[in-house]
Structure 1
Amino acid sequence: MRKVKKIMALALSAALVVVSLAGCGSEANTENTAPKASDTLIYAQGSEPRGLDPALVDDGESAKVMSNIYEGLLKYNKDSTKVEPSLAKSWDVSPDGLTYTFHLQEGVKFQDGTDFNAEAVKFNIDRQLPPQVTEDMAYAPFVYGSVKDVEVVDTNTVKINLKAPSTPFLNNLAMIMAAPMISPKALKDNNNNVNQAPVGTGPYKFVKWEKDQNIVLVRNDDYWGTKANIKNVIFKFIKDNSARVVALNNGEADIIDGIDSTVVKQITDAGNKIFQAPGMNINYMAYNTSRKPFNDQKVRVAVSQAINVPELVESLYQGYSEPATSILPSFMEGYDKSISQVAYDPTAAAKTLKDAGITSLHMITYTNPRPYNAATGQSLAEAIQGYLSKVGVQVTIDSFDWTTYKQKLKAGDYDLAFYGWIGDNGDPDNFLYLLSVDDPTMNIALYKNDEFNSLIAKGLTTPAGDDRNAIYTQLEKIAADDAAWLPISHAQTLCAYQPNVENFYFHMTGITPFAGVVKK
């Protein structure tokens, strides 16, 4: 009961904050009743966000929270990555594909009361363009790399001029990383970093962040669009998978993520529900191609030959993930079923590795579940450690929490590492681009290939259609032949929720919008 009381106390605290934030003459100040359980939604996730500034983070845990605070010029359809109006109510594209003119919603305010307008759009984009862009803005080159400059036409009209045509540009502007609009005042007041003090235009406002505990949001009652149904949202951090299930089944959480096949029956037997949908993701192991022994393609192939991927996926994920035969999900443009990864051949693997004198390797992994790997990085690492021991290679595993793990990736001191990707925008470039960038927290294989990079650049400017799809198919073939990654699986999206929660969905891009959720 102690945990339940603690959660209810937190819900009460969040509700009181809502009252205190309201104006002196507001209706909220006239309410003296205690908050109802239906006023507060508790979402339990496996790890803490890295931050809440869309320009400065690149992780899914941050995305879930930010998707409720911020909005971009565009947004995705609930059931796809088709773009729809958001802060921009309409847009025009010049015949040469170099100028995008956005007509903005009128009368929108940031959560600090300042105006959203064309100047705010320019401020947000200029912040992520040279010379202002900083090294820690990982997504800036991806979203705005093709942007030449931004022009304010009038208060509610802004032009974005490109250096070259960019086929995925509109899709990029609906992403939760880099694209959302932040209050310029908040950025100025917080030294260009609102990781701890986010201010957007979205349906929920930030209240507080208790490190290692939770993040509290309250409904933005001045929101320009349809107001959220639930008053308070609490993102609670529970690292252990089984502890999250207990929290759900005990009524201490309304929704949990990061579940796997082993707990589905336990959840449904308790009367709770499962959210299940195809995932737009890839779960993989990367070879550090920047140093020995994995600067040698033959050695990379040999290690891949040692691992029975279909067997591994069935054992770990019990039918809730499918073996990856490609980096791209099978429903994405550019996917080609003829592409195959390195085939399982432990005899050939053992010979090549022995001839190369490789008897030990250093592997790093993460301890928490990820949307593309609900079994946790530790379980995946140990499974691959077992396969490699059968071909005469002993693997040392170092495991870290997610935030520390990202720093270890940046340092580059590993032979093998695990990662994954949730598609941001539904475009194949979003996946294959990862093998072309210099950022070591995205291209963790540290892979460099001039032919590959040239094709990436070509794909960006090629109009949608068969010719463009063929470019990404070719990129897939190069990646498979070079074996910079061992693609492992494409995970289904699995979450669980209380039966009194309605309209919850986990979008294929990894965000959890709560404005439409109802708790009865």
Structure 2
Amino acid sequence: MQGRRLRTAVAIAAVTALAVGAAGCAESERDGDSGEAKTGGTFIFAGAGDPKNFDPIFNDDGESFRPIRQMFDTLVTHKPGTAELTGGLAESWEHDESGKVWTFKLRQGVKFHDGTPFNAAAVCYNFDRWYNMKGAAAQANMIYYMDTFGGFAKNEAEGAGESVYNKCEAKDDGTAVLTLNKYKGAFPGAFALTSLSIASPEALKKYDADTVTQNGDSFAYSAFANEHPVGTGPFTFGGWDKAKGEITLNRNPDYWGDKAKVDKLIIKIIKDENTRKQELRAGTVHGIDFPAPADRKALADEGFQVIDRPAFNILYLGINQKNPKLKDLRVRQAIAYALNRQQLVQTKGPGGAKVADELMPDTVLGYAPDVQKYEYNPEKAKQLLKEAGAENLTLNFYYPPDVTRPYMPNPQEIFTILANDLQAVGIKVNGVPRPWNGGFKDDVQTFGKHDLHILGWTGDYNDPGNFVGTFFGRAKAEFGDQAMTDMFEAITKADGTVDEAGKKAAWEQVNRDLASKWLPAVPVWHAPPAIVVTKDVEGMVASPLTDERFNTVSVKQ
């Protein structure tokens, strides 16, 4: 176990150094004035899309996680501005030699927003809730839980397997003991997942949190998820005005940690990128996320604080092998050769972006420098399509035009360029724009309606399983790869390897095979996303995980 801790610390140090350097550069460029930040007032941040809901376990996207992170806490968290683990609701944790029994020493005196006590029984209630979740619709929306634990007490969702979770015991109010069925390399990092935030058991029961219903392609969630989310975080829920596109959060005066400096936090949903920028300049919002690469210098020159995060992410072109033509490796390779990714990086990537050869950053254990690479070669693409008998291929390419993501600053432009590359080698592309929540994600990740899609990932913690394992560790509608059992087995074996050298070798081989033998997706780029705030904002700590907590923020009065 000591070897694994050492490896994690080294990998995290690289990400931490980048984060500190980026924050330092932004700080040095700030305009100085005599105004003083003080507590009180309102901080208004522009969100790029609607949240799905506020129940952590049913979410997996940044627009939903942004408000959730302000209201909820996890057992383990990250030191601000880094990927380094530190205590959250658990002050400390340890595991036995097998890596299957985890003991958490919990913070004392913590209360949920509804006044009920946080204790070991509450921790176990949450873990047992997730494990015993009923209904295919509910289980299908627990994407992070599935990726982490693999299955439920009774599997009803497609693709679920045997659960890693075994049981949780409250030894006393301050000690929770979690037992797993097998070692999993994701831990302890996965205990910091926002989706595994700890909610009030009383509120979960009172507001019928486990009810998720499906009507065609749409899902409906409980009163807990939409109207009464109750955690232990620095802000409490104040309402979601869908007509105005505003989420209001209020300062929690009883927070166990550093209390919020502002009285009110408003997340204002502004889906259009230019409108977000205009409102920042007008002063009607104090911060925006993911500015267009071309806007960064202008905003900095105007006196705004443009803070770069390290590129701990990946953008990829996903390929759905439910289409029989796409089952042929030669066709998938042709798609890879057809993409002029270097030109895309140069014309649309943020400063510091680089072409990706693998589906995780090179700072993560298991990155293999000798994978097969797909340099831009349209003639090679045409040859492979001819060999596969796919010269008249037509593909439905799904993309979300209404959001800006850390790894995807302008989906419309990225789609257009990639589609043009594909059409240049003879592939006909039908573009299918769908809204991020209530459209694109359901069509792609739940129903698998697409042939191609663009999507990506910002790492939640520094482990290969959080990248490659999350994408390809089990069958998913997103990739239509149910028959790739050798891929699933290889990833499961790598994730369960305790020996440090063996783990590294296993993940490197997975990455080689992903590039040469399986190719379920084409990696596009790693891009450093930025966050921008006005010169009146102090205390914004940018995270390489895009895991910003706004309790540190104040606004000059």
TM exceeding 0.5: yes
Select which of 91, 98, 101 maps to 1:99: 101
Q: How does 1:247-258 map to 2 (within 5 A)?
A: 247-258=279-290
> What does residue 117 of structure 2 align with?
115
* More displaced 10-residue stretch of structure 1: 103-112 or 365-374: 365-374
Match for residue 149 of structure 1?
A: 167
2:149, 2:447 → 1: CA distance?
26
CA contact (8 A) 2:50 2:63 kept: yes
Q: Secondary structure at the match of 1:159?
A: strand
Contact 1:372–1:491 (CA<8 Å) still a contact in 2?
A: yes
> Is 1:385 aligned with 2:444?
no
Question: How big is the shift at 1:500?
Answer: 1.5
> 1:86 corresponds to which residue?
88
Aligned counterpart for 1:48 among listed residues 47, 50, 56: 50
Paired with 1:241 and 1:385, the residues of 2 have a C-alpha distance of: 22
Structure 2 letter corresponding to 1:341: K
- Aligned equivalents of 2:360, 2:403: Cα separation in 1: 21
Letter in 1 for 2:283: G
Alignment check: 8 A CA contact 1:275 1:494 kept:
yes
Identify the residue that residue 329 of structure 2 maps to in structure 1. 297
Correspondence for 1:438: 475
- Does residue 202 (structure 1) correspond to residue 215 (structure 2)? The answer is no
Aligned to 1:503: 539
Kept after mapping to 2: 8 A contact 1:39/1:232? yes
- Given that 1:280 and 1:423 are in contact with CA atoms closer than 8 Å, whether structure 2 keeps it comes out as yes
Q: Are the aligned partners of 1:110 and 1:201 in contact in 2 as well (CA < 8 Å)?
A: yes
| Aligned-partner SS, 1:259 | coil
Note the alpha carbon deviations across 1:56-80, whole angstroms, 9 max, x for none. 1111111111111000111112233
Matching residue's letter, 1:250: A
Cα deviation for residue 464 of structure 1 reads 6.0
- Comparing 235-244 with 124-133, greater Cα deviation is found at 124-133
Q: Counterpart of 1:331?
A: 363
Q: Which one of the candidate residues 381, 387, 405 is aligned to 2:440? A: 405
The Cα offsets for residues 218-243 of structure 1, whole Å up to 9 and x where unpaired, read as 10001122211111111111111111
Q: Offset of 1:359 from its aligned partner?
A: 3.9
> Structure 1 residue 292: deviation in Å?
2.0
**1:7-22 to 2 correspondences below 5 Å:** none
DSSP-derived class of the 1:62 partner? helix
Offset at residue 122 of structure 1 (A): 0.7
From 181, 185, 205, give the equivalent of 1:167.
185
Q: AA paired with 1:516?
A: T
Q: 2:494 aligns with which of 445, 459, 468?
A: 459
- Matched residues in 1 for 2:309 and 2:258: separation? 26
Cα distance in structure 2, aligned partners of 1:467 and 1:172? 21
User: In the TM superposition, what is the alpha-carbon distance from 1:131 to its structure 2 partner?
Assistant: 5.9
Give the CA deviation at 1:130.
3.9
SS at match of 1:206: strand
Letter of the 2:486 counterpart: E
Aligned 8 A contact 1:371 1:491 in 2: no
User: Which letter maps to 2:129?
Assistant: R
1:85-120 per-residue CA deviation (whole Å, 9 max, x = no partner) reads: 111112232222221111111111000111111111
1:176 aligns with 2:176: no
CA distance in 1, matches of 2:303, 2:364: 35
Among 179, 191, 202, the alignment partner of 2:208 is 191
Q: 1:360 to 1:250 in 2, by over 3 A?
A: same
Higher relative contact order (CA 8 A, sep 6+): 2
2:323 is paired with a residue whose SS is coil
User: SS in structure 2 opposite 1:122?
Assistant: helix
**Identity over aligned pairs, percent:** 29
CA-CA distance at 1:439 after TM superposition = 4.0
Q: Does the Cα contact within 8 Å between 1:245 and 1:267 map onto a contact in 2?
A: no
* Alignment check: 8 A CA contact 1:138 1:439 kept: no
Task: Return the offset for 1:374.
Answer: 4.0
Specify the SS of the correspondent of 1:139. helix
Within the candidate set 483, 486, 492, 2:528 is matched to 492
SS in 1 for 2:103: strand
Matches of 2:321 and 2:232, distance apart in 1: 42
* CA root-mean-square deviation: 1.9
CA distance in structure 2 between the partners assigned to 1:204 and 1:305 by the alignment: 48
1: distance between equivalents of 2:191 and 2:357? 30
Q: Contact conserved, 1:216 with 1:235, CA < 8 A, in 2?
A: yes
User: Which residue is equivalent to 2:550?
Assistant: 514
Partners of 1:367 and 1:123 in 2: CA distance? 39
Q: What residue number does 2:33 align with?
A: none
| Further displaced range: 447-456 or 254-263 | 447-456
1:29-44 alignment, distance < 5 Å: 39-44=41-46
Question: C-alpha displacement at 1:506, in angstroms?
Answer: 3.1
Give the CA deviation at 1:452.
1.8
* Count of residue pairs the alignment pairs up: 482
| Equivalent in the alignment of 2:157 | none
Structure 1 position 134 matched with structure 2 position 139: yes
Residue number among 264, 283, 295 corresponding to 1:232 in the alignment: 264
Q: Distance in 2 between matches of 1:399 and 1:82?
A: 37
The offset of 1:153, in angstroms, is 0.8
Deviations 1:31-50 (A, max 9, x none): xxxxx996110110211111
User: Within 5 A, what are the aligned runs for 1:407-422?
Assistant: 407-409=442-444, 410-422=446-458
Q: For residue 22 of structure 2, what is the aligned residue in structure 1?
A: none
Q: Secondary structure at the match of 2:194?
A: coil
The ranges of structure 1 where at least 4 consecutive aligned residues each deviate by more than 6 angstroms after the TM superposition are: none
Structure 1 residue 392, shift from structure 2 partner = 1.9
One-letter amino acid of the structure 1 residue matched with residue 534 of structure 2: Q
| 1:168-208 Cα deviation digits (max 9, x unpaired) | 2211101112x210001111111124321211001000100
- The alpha carbon displacement at 1:288 in A equals 0.8
Separation of aligned partners in 1, 2:180 and 2:443: 35
| d(CA) in 1 for partners of 2:312, 2:407 | 13
DSSP 3-state at the match of 1:438:
coil
With normalisation by structure 2, the TM-score equals 0.83
346 and 314 in structure 1: CA distance in 2 versus 1, 3 angstrom threshold: same
CA shift digits 1:264-293 (9 cap, x unpaired): 133123221101021211101011112221
Offset, 1:387: 1.0
Compared with structure 1, are the counterparts of its residues 106 and 38 closer, same or farther at alpha carbon in structure 2 (3 Å cutoff)?
closer
Q: Give distance in 1, aligned partners of 2:111 and 2:118.
A: 5
Cα deviations across residues 370-406 of structure 1 (Å, max 9, x unaligned)?
A: 3334432221111011112221222110101101111
Cα shift at 1:437: 2.3
Q: Distance in 2 between matches of 1:174 and 1:37?
A: 28
1-structure distance, mates of 2:360, 2:247: 33
Contact 2:350 2:528 in 1 (8 A): no
> 1:231-310 residue pairs with structure 2 within 5 A?
231-310=263-342
